[in-house]
């Protein structure tokens, strides 16, 4: 009987350790979920505030940029043809 009692006691200790670990992991998971929600809301705020790159430049600047890109494409085409 003594061996059986030792095994039961060992089993109970191990079971208690597992329960403690599971509770700790659940608590940690809950904290991480809260942090995740905070970070997601912060990201959403930043994305709302973020503007499109082209919305901050004037129409004339867009046209100038388009001409620069077109000129670069033409130069690349000429280089590839030669």
pLDDT digits (tens, 9 = 90+) for 57-68: 788 888 999 999
Report the distance separating Cα 35 and Cα 50, nearest Å: 22
Q: What is the structure's pLDDT at 71?
A: 94
Q: Which two tokens stand for residue 27?
A: 């608590």
pLDDT tens profile 18-29 = 999 999 999 999
Q: What is the structure's pLDDT at 53?
A: 66
Question: Which positions of the chain have pLDDT values less than 50?
Answer: none
């Amino acid at each position: 009987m003594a061996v059986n009692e030792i095994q039961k006691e060992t089993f109970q200790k191990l079971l208690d350790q597992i329960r403690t670990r599971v509770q700790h992991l659940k608590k940690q998971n809950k904290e991480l979920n809260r942090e995740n929600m905070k970070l997601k809301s912060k990201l959403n705020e930043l994305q709302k505030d973020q503007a499109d790159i082209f919305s901050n430049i004037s129409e004339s600047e867009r046209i100038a940029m388009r001409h620069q890109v077109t000129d670069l494409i033409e130069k690349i085409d000429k280089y590839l043809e030669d």
